[in-house]
Structure 1
Amino acid sequence: MASDERRVEVTLTAEEYDRLAATTDDPEALAREALLRRVDLEESIEFTREGGFRELAVEERAEGIPRPPVGVLVGFDVLEAADGESRLAFDAGPEHANPMGTLHGGVVCDVGDAAMGTAYASTLAEAESFTTLDLTVNYLRPVWSERLEAVGRVVEGGRTVGLVECDITNEDGKRVARLSSTCMTLRDEQAAGR
């Protein structure tokens, strides 16, 4: 063991270990990966509790955007978010499947909602927050396992209410879903704690 490494031991029952070993040739690597995913989630939750995206200065929002807890859980990355536009990447896989084997519609909705939310949030002042008033999803083609890109953009932004849209495309550039949402900007006491 290298001097910059630390060791964690986990005790499993024989049944638990057999279940783990049945899913992989390298149980230790899988356990390490699962543990680090949980650490990512806990760090993201803590970042959000401390104010998250809302507390970043406007110029900081475009640089190194941390994943929100739902991003860690679902598995999407925020690649860009500035000036009313955002771009997210998502690798759809068997862990996101519905009972028919295709990508679950709720996951598509989560990814699109996040793209629209980060796009809208990129237009807000530091003391503002927002909430979603409605959300519509149009599913256009099935997805199995492939990389998707979600591009959110503010189409109309007023003082209180804004219209946001998102196109989700597959690796071939074909649209798999289109979403739209109406968002309401919150200020002062309404924005506190959000």
Structure 2
Amino acid sequence: MNDISPAASASAGTSTNQPPSLQVENIERGIGSATATFNAGPEHLNIKGMLHGGIIAGLMDVIMAIGAGSHPDPAKRRFSITLSLSMNFIGSAGQGPLALRAETVGGGKRTCFCESRIEDAVGNLIATAQGAFKLMDAGSERAANS
């Protein structure tokens, strides 16, 4: 379910162009941080019934992109573009709820560095990731066309 307009999503640091299979919910934003939830369904599982690694990587990218440009005040949010992503697959998960968390750990005016983690419903660590993100003002023409 995505009821955010393209203009509003750009200012929110998210994109309505995310694949439908990677839509996160319950997004909470801090200054340079974000948390969200994701409900893994049967369509997200590999042939062994475990959450597919590509879905995990995509979720890490989504939550870090939101966190990179995040601020509780929508007027201060920035649009972010992934420059690099490094994954660590630690545990496995099946169908069910997941908790996603990301925070910026450094950077400057135009680039920031983030870390993220995904845990299952009982707090087992599934994966961690690190990423670098380019930051742009949400209202810029270049951001709107990215």
Q: Is the alpha carbon distance of 1:128 and 1:86 closer, same or farther for their aligned partners in structure 2, counting shifts above 3 Å?
A: closer
Native 8 Å contact 2:14 2:65 kept in 1: no
Question: What CA deviation, in whole Å up to 9, does each residue of 1:93-148 have, x standing for no partner?
Answer: 32211122211111111211111111112159759533111011111111112211
Give 3-state SS (helix, strand or coil) of 1:191's partner.
helix
Superposed displacement of residue 73, structure 1 = 3.3
Superposed displacement of residue 70, structure 1 = 2.8
Superposed displacement of residue 155, structure 1 = 0.8
Q: Is the alpha carbon distance of 1:131 and 1:66 closer, same or farther for their aligned partners in structure 2, counting shifts above 3 Å?
A: closer
Match of residue 82 from structure 2: 132
Q: Which structure has the greater CA radius of gyration?
A: 1
Match of residue 8 from structure 1: none
Q: Is the alpha carbon distance of 1:135 and 1:81 closer, same or farther for their aligned partners in structure 2, counting shifts above 3 Å?
A: same
Matched, 1:95 2:43: yes
Matched, 1:145 2:95: yes
What's the RMSD between the two structures over aligned residues? 2.8
Task: Return 160-169 or 124-133, whichever deviates more.
Answer: 124-133
Q: Is the alpha carbon distance of 1:172 and 1:52 closer, same or farther for their aligned partners in structure 2, counting shifts above 3 Å?
A: same
Aligned match of 2:27 in 79, 82, 90?
79
Match of residue 9 from structure 2: 53
Match of residue 114 from structure 1: 62
| Structure 1 unpaired stretches of 5+ | 1-39, 56-60
Percent identity, aligned pairs only, is 23
| Structure 2 unpaired stretches of 5+ | none
Whole-Å Cα distance in 2 between the matches of residues 127 and 116 of structure 1?
14
Give 3-state SS (helix, strand or coil) of 2:94's partner.
coil
Whole-Å Cα distance in 2 between the matches of residues 115 and 149 of structure 1?
10
Q: Which one scores higher on RCO, CA 8 angstroms, separation ≥ 6?
A: 2
Whole-Å Cα distance in 2 between the matches of residues 53 and 165 of structure 1?
22
Match of residue 127 from structure 2: 177
Superposed displacement of residue 67, structure 1 = 8.1
- Structure 1 outlier segments of 4+, above 4 Å: 123-128
Native 8 Å contact 1:116 1:164 kept in 2: yes
